[in-house]
Amino acid sequence: MTHPLRISGSAISGLLAAALFGAALVAPLPAAADEMKTFDMELKDGVITPQKLEVEAGTTFKIIVRNTGTTAAEFESLRLRKEKVVGPGVTSFVVIRRLSPGTYKFYDEFHMDMESANGVIIAK
């Protein structure tokens, strides 16, 4: 008796390898940065500035995340499906696309015991 799962074993491994290499080779996408609204956000050892961003619902925007602290930070929001680790002194970014109106919480997970490490994005 041949089990379908067994046949698919090598096929899955092959696909997996292809996916890994593919993903590793994808160059950073030249996100249409010109048209995109950009916000600056500073993470500093558990202090997020600003803690409230107001954006227009349905637009795509970019948040430049600068870690100016001495410890690592992680910009995280389950509702935004974002998880970005930012080492000390490192600047990175997240692109958020077409939010429906609402309030989206986020925090610096590596400092989430601090009140100042929490923020909201309000899409109107």
Residue 77 CA to residue 81 CA, distance in Å, equals 6
- Under the binding rule (CB under 8 A), the answer on residue 37 touching other proteins is no
Per CB under 8 A, the segment of 7-15, 34-42, 48-56 that binds other proteins is 7-15
Please name which of 64, 106, 119 lies closest in space to residue 86, comparing C-alpha atoms: 64
Could you tell me the smallest distance in angstroms from the CB atom of residue 72 to other proteins? 3
- Under the binding rule (CB under 8 A), the answer on residue 20 touching other proteins is yes
Site for other proteins in 74-103 (CB under 8 A): 74, 77-82, 85-88, 90-93, 95-100, 102
Residue type at position 86 = V
DSSP class of residue 124?
A: -
Strands in 102-108's sheet, in edge-to-edge order, are: 52-55, 118-123, 102-108, 73-77, 82-86
DSSP class of residue 11?
A: H
- Under the binding rule (CB under 8 A), the answer on residue 109 touching other proteins is yes
Footprint on this chain of other proteins (rule: CB under 8 A):
1-3, 5-6, 8-10, 12-13, 15-16, 19-20, 22-24, 26-29, 31, 45, 60, 70-74, 77-82, 85-88, 90-93, 95-100, 102, 105, 107, 109-113
